[in-house]
Amino acid sequence: MIRAAGALPWRRRRGALQVALVHRPRYGDWAWAKGKLDPAEEWPVAAVREVFEETGLRVRLGRPLPSSEYTVLDQAGQPETKQCRYWAAEVVGGDGKLVNEIDEVAWLDVPAAEARLSYARDYEHLGALVNADGAGALTTWPLVLVRHAKARSRSTWPDADPLRPLDVRGRERAKALVPILAAYGVTRVITSPSLRCLDTVLPYADAAGHEARLKVGLSEEGFAEKPERASYHLTRLLERGNATVLCSHGPVLPVLLEQLAGIADSGGFAENPAKVTLSEAAQSGVGKGEALVAHLVGTGTQARVVDVERYVAP
């Protein structure tokens, strides 16, 4: 399988929703900015990179859109399956300079974009974006729940448990989380003060220039003493509505996941996949170093989870 990722940058002009398409002179087509994943690259990281390389625009990913699977021919003329994942995305920077295989970027309203797209499969992505907009669920903010990465074993650690550090694999995962969190534009870093949690998100905090805020209520010890504090911290984050990463422990995260499942929005559909994913994660547990991305609309008592993604540590 060929893996590729891309995004639909969107904006409003005079109240009208617009999306950005790219033109590839090599193929003479109009489509979404996208490209193949590099070895060991995560899907959202590739999506942000490819959009920048093709459009010169830096984007923050929002909610995921439907993926596409189709057949292409390799250099030997043999068929291969190509899977491409997409996200809605908002432009946060860049000069728009074209640098890679693209000779034009066009911002078009929805009817014009439908008329210009070269491939029928791309209509589904645009339709999903339009539907989300109509439901008031296109402008989202991410809350990323992370379980600390792999640490030294309790049995071999001679000091107090909160001082137990990450092991080699854990430190590698902490570095790998940096571009994932950056892809979603995380601006607030909240963590248990236990060293294994702090060191899981500190590489991102340092790279992005954000302060890591320590919350005793998210630690195992604090949770055991006052379980209600973990939910309190989550409620405060829902009130703020900032793009946030929260790092905690295996025993603490199920409470937070169930709280989020309670505000999952089905979007009018009979099924509620966001609620199902959150409830399953609460019951089965979150893996060490896993990042669960909850996409929310609204704040405070109006906050609703509209989609969920999970990125498991290798």
pLDDT digits (tens, 9 = 90+) for 158-215: 999 999 999 999 999 999 999 999 999 999 999 999 999 999 999 999 999 999 999 9
What is the Cα 307 distance to its own chain's centre? 10
How would you classify residue 185: left for phi > 0, otherwise alpha for psi between -120 and 50, otherwise beta? left
Say which amino acid occupies 51: V
* Residues 177 and 289 sit within 8 Å (Cβ to Cβ): yes
Instruction: Record the tokens describing residue 235, joined without a space.
Output: 């409620």
What was the pLDDT predicted at 223?
98
Let me know if the fold of 2-134 is the same as that of 141-311.
no
Mean pLDDT of 252-275: 88
CATH code given to domain 2-134: 3.90.79.10
pLDDT digit string (tens) for 65-77?
A: 999 998 887 777 8
Q: Where are the domains of the chain?
A: 2-134, 141-311
**For 37, phi and psi rounded to 5 degrees?**
-75, 140
CB half-sphere exposure, 202, CA atoms < 13 A:
14
Q: What's 141-311's CATH class?
A: alpha beta
pLDDT > 70? residue 235:
yes
* Residues 55 and 96 sit within 8 Å (Cβ to Cβ): yes
pTM of the model: 0.95
The DSSP secondary-structure symbol of 211 reads P
